[in-house]
Amino acid sequence: MSISVLGAGAFGTALAISLANKGPVTLWARDAGDMQISRQNAARLPDCRFPPSLKVTGDLQEAAQAPILLIAVPMQKLRDMLREHAALLTGKQLVACCKGMEIGTGLGPVSIIAQEVPQATAAILTGPSFASDIARGLPTALTLGCADDTTAKALQKALTTDNLRLYRTTDTIGAELGGALKNVIAIACGAAMGAGLGESARAALLTRGFAEMKRLARHLDAQPDTLAGLSGFGDLVLTCTSAQSRNYRLGQSIGEGRPFDQTITVEGAATARAVHALAQDSGLDLPITAVVAALIENRQNVSSAMAILLARPLKEE
């Protein structure tokens, strides 16, 4: 079964490389010319050569002929992309490969696909992974979320490669939330480390951040076990402990008081704002998310944010 990856950022390119080691894959990029010539994505994944079975095209209509389409565009651009090309995507199996929650709606990628292309099958691929590891063939495990388990089994088989092992779940909400919320906590952990608050502070933020993730998941009727898996806890640990994470690096820059490259997409920044708005509307207590949103919007600095967290009422764990 043929597969196309729509979006040639680091993660989309890495998935295309891994899948192309198994069979023919098409990678759609808005600027495909350089990659077609050099056979690599020098801007996003330097030194990761494309396998011969990976075709790069700038023609979306050509790429969309495949029955399985992995959509690897930034979360906040997903709806516009789906809406613009809904006719091409109808009837396909659409696997979202982005993490976050949409500003204004608080929805995740599976829900957005269902709204914009209702005649397509919606799924999500998420979990603890760095693009460079996948592209280099290093072992990686991810969660595949799809409401229909029969479809999930077929996708699991199609998208598993020698270095990419997929576990499936029908809890798409839980899979969405894990991938989205861990980015918010990673910003908090990066800020703590950047400000010199130490490893113990990071461990506390990671642990209490996980409690916030589960609190929101319960509110949205996700399954707790999903958050304890790869798409939740697994991704949280990876993202909160490595400078390879863009969200963690953004947090570090905030903690150190230095500017961050605005050309780099950091999904957790928008997600923090979306989740904070959702929490306020729902009366949910998500204090770490609240201070991250305040840091992103320059309403607080790290010192005042930490003071707010430390001054919270004492409670049972």
Catalytic residues: 182
Joined together, the tokens standing for residue 107 give 């929805």
Other CB atoms within 10 A of residue 215 CB = 16
Joined together, the tokens standing for residue 58 give 């700038």
Query: What is the H or E stretch that residue 94 is in?
Result: strand 93-96
Tokens 């809904």 — which residue?
86
CA quadruple 47, 53, 58, 63: dihedral sign: negative
Other CB atoms within 10 A of residue 260 CB = 16
Residues 6+ apart with CB under 8 A from 96: 71, 78, 109, 110, 112, 113, 122, 123, 124, 125
Which ranges of the chain would DSSP assign to H, the alpha helix? 10-20, 33-38, 60-63, 78-84, 86-89, 109-116, 131-135, 149-159, 172-194, 199-219, 224-227, 235-241, 246-256, 267-282, 287-296, 302-310
Phi/psi region, residue 104 (left: phi>0; alpha: psi -120 to 50; beta: rest), is left
Strand-pairing partners, residue 145, are 124, 169
Tokens 């009837």 — which residue?
91
